[in-house]
Amino acid sequence: MDIYLPIAEVSVNAPILIALGAAVGFISGLFGIGGGFLMTPVLIFLGIPPVVAVASEANHVAASSTSGVISYTRRKAVDFRMGGVLAAGGAVGSFIGVEIFRWLRLLGQADLVVALSYLIFLGVIGALMLSESLTSILRQRRGAPPKRRKDRRPPWLYGLPFKMRFPRSRLYISVIPPLVLGVFVGILSAIMGVGGGFVLVPAMVYILRMPAGVVVGTSLFQIIITTSLTSVLQAGRNQTVDVVLATLLLIGGVLGAQVGARASSRFRAEELRALLALIVLAVGLRMGLGLFFTPAEPFVLMAGNG
Amino acid sequence: MPYAAPPETPPAAVSAALTTTNVRVTSSFRGARIVLYGAVFDPTAQPSDVVVIVRGPEAPLRMARKTRVAGVWVNSRPVVFEGAPGFYMAASTRPLGEIASFGTLRRLGAGVDHLAINAPLEERTETRYGVRDVVVSRLGQDYLDWRRAVVRLKEQSGLYAADEQGVTFVDRGLFKAEIDLPTAAPIGVYTAEIFLFQNGQPVSRRMRGLTVEKAGIERALYLFAHNRPWSYGLVSVAIALAAGWAASVVFRRN
């Protein structure tokens, strides 16, 4: 069953999009990521113009994150205060990111920067997560006691001013690191068309040292705010949000996210992280390695007139 | 003594009509096929050829070439091309090169090779060999590669087509041609030009119009997105948040 998308101006197969939305929604609920880093490349591959894919995807991520966050809230696994601080940074970051993206589009280098960001960020984060989670899985298999988590947090987290209490995360730290992290993720999400969970989750675990239990829910909460903002900004400035496309994706997405959020409690954290690391690594390599192969068609038509 | 006029032969003429003049793009739009019917009126029974040229709305387009920099393929500076119609189809009874001369085809813009696609921003005029105002393109020798790439990329998306046997005579003097609009066909006003060629010259010409427009809910959404972009954005986010909330409520009941 094909449906013509009014803004993207292409015809797509509706059941395939709903199934894709569900699959990405499941991953989103399972790992507490928006899933944009998976969906945006797939949409572009299906022939949807990249500008429309990036903008509509923000809308879909907002929907599946909302669906996921409500389940996490019931389990008291969301640190709203930390999420709010991150989102404040994220809002600033997405304004900056949208401007950077417009400027890159004018130069004709948006494709390159998108592909390189995927390769670098997904590649590095995927590799780090994979090695970390594999080591801990192997240690468990051998029956060795799990390595004690370093409770000592990096001193610079405490040396900075503007300290704030985050009771749910059992933290009393400066607001500067989460704000800076939020800005960085906001910029990244505008450029790559993602929610930024794949950066946020590891950063919350390894840099902010938040308890593992609240990381996923808090990340989803932050993602809702930034992607909603991005979605409205994209619609208002570029008219590139396709509501039909977003609706098709979110039908599957919200259901998938619910199933994913439930399934997450059945897996061990290390195994989940290893699986996510593999997915992240695969997408990063797929997007980035194309830069090194001789293209079959040396010329590319670019959307819009700049 | 009255001058005896020679017996008058009316000039050869061509006439044509489209089966559809208004293509409505709705949610089930998957491209459209339009049939053009026409007739040749020629008392002298000279060999005639018919050429049908369909053009869609024109918009400047940007193109970049991938070049290798330090092992990585990157886009060059984008070049803006003008004169490329959003849709172009040339159908004829025989290969265009057999119907008319290069110059005639170039003048009429008949055939993808004769489209006046150029990059005005890359051009400057200078005096060469004593000739003033020679147009020189900054793209230099590669200019033809670029131009060919515009046509090739458009052909790949089904927007440009040349069919050397696209016009067929179904009966004496009665011909037809099919126009296939892909899903990607741009919205706007199209023109279909029908030429009658005899002895390599266009002897008669007809012009027919065609509109491709969004209709129904597609049109409503498109207008909403463009006329009230901020409300549109807020509504789409509201739908997303409401759907997320609804799903979690439904799942809790289960």
Please write the tens of the pLDDT for every residue from A120-131. Answer: 888 888 888 888
Chain B hits for A300, CB-CB cut-off 8 Å, are 63-66, 75, 153
Phi, psi of A203 (to 5 degrees): -65, -40
* pLDDT at residue B195, rounded to an integer: 92
**Averaged over B178-201, what is the pLDDT?**
90
Contacts of A256 in chain B (CB under 8 A): none
Name the amino acid, one letter, at A141: R
Q: Which of residues 26-65 of B touch A (CB under 8 A)?
A: 26-31, 59-65
**Burial code of A90-108, b = ≥16 C-beta within 10 A, e = fewer?**
bbebbbebbeebeebbeeb
CA distance A181 to A168: 19
Reference B215, options B19, B12, B1, B23; nearest CA is: B23
Q: Which helix (H) or strand (E) holds A302?
A: strand A299-302
Say whether pLDDT at A151 is over 60: no
Query: Which pLDDT belongs to residue A297?
Result: 79
Shortest distance between the Cα of B149 and any Cα of chain A, in A, equals 6
Question: Of the given ranges (A52-66, B39-53, B110-124), which has the lowest mean pLDDT?
Answer: B110-124
Measured at the CA of B14, the angle between CA B8 and CA B17, to 5 degrees, comes to 145
Which amino acid does the sequence have at B247? A
Measured CA to CA, the distance from residue A156 to residue A171 in angstroms comes to: 14
The tokens of A306 are what?
């700049």
**Weakest-pLDDT range from A71-75, B8-12, B65-69, B145-149:** B8-12
- A234 near B CB under 8 A: yes
Q: Do B29 and A237 touch (CB under 8 A)?
A: no
Q: How confident is the model at residue B52 (pLDDT cuts 50, 70, 90)?
A: very high
CA distance A84 to A64: 19
| pLDDT the model gives residue B13 | 86
pLDDT band at A306 (very low <50, low <70, confident <90, very high): very low
Determine, for residues B243 and A67 on separate chains, whether the beta-carbon distance falls below 8 Å: yes
Interface of A with B in 210-229 (CB under 8 A): 224, 228
pLDDT for B55 equals: 92
- At B91 the pLDDT is 92
Give me the percent of chain A exceeding a pLDDT of 70: 92
| Residue-wise pLDDT tens digits, A163-196 | 777 777 777 777 788 888 889 988 887 777 777 7
Averaged pLDDT, B180-195:
90
Average pLDDT of span A32-48: 80
**Mean pLDDT over residues A140-159, rounded?**
65
Mean pLDDT, chain A, whole residue set: 81
Burial zone of B84 (CB within 10 Å; 0-12 exposed, 13-18 middle, 19+ buried) = buried
**Among chain A residues, CA nearest to B251:** A258
Token pair 């509201």: residue: B238
Cβ separation B74–A112 shorter than 8 A: yes
Confidence of residue A259 (pLDDT cuts 50, 70, 90): confident
For residue B217, the chain A residues in CB contact (below 8 A) are 6
Q: Which residues contact A231 (CB under 8 A, 6 or more apart)?
A: A55, A58, A59, A62, A241, B233, B236, B237, B240
CA distance A80 to A90: 14
- A147: pLDDT strictly greater than 70: no
Q: Residue A267 to residues A36, B60, B235: CA-CA distances in angstroms?
A: 23, 54, 37
Strands (E), A139-282: 163-166, 171-174
Question: Which residue reads 């069919």 in tokens?
Answer: B163
pTM to 2 decimals?
Answer: 0.75
Q: How far is A217 from chain B (nearest CA, A)?
A: 14
Which residues in chain B are closer than 8 Å to A257, comparing Cβ atoms?
A: 244, 247
Q: Is A3 exposed, middle or buried (0-12, 13-18, 19+ CB in 10 A)?
A: buried
Radius of gyration of chain A (CA): 19
Given pLDDT bands bounded at 50, 70 and 90, which one contains residue B244? Answer: confident
Q: What is the predicted pLDDT for the residue at A251? A: 86
- The pLDDT score that the predictor gives to residue A194 is 78
Give the residue from chain A lying closest to B157, CA to CA.
A47
A296/A230 Cα distance (integer angstroms): 34
> Within an 8 Å CB–CB cutoff, is residue B138 touching chain A?
no
Residue A75 has pLDDT above 90, yes or no: no
CA distance to B92, B97, B106, B112, B157, per residue, from B164 (Å): 5, 10, 17, 12, 19
Span between the terminal Cα atoms of chain A, in Å: 34
Q: Which of B236, B239, B252, B254 is best to mutate for the A interface (most A CBs within 10 A)?
A: B236
- Look at residue B120 and give its three-state secondary structure: helix
Residue A305 scores a pLDDT above 50: no
Chain A residue with CA closest to B187: the answer is: A9
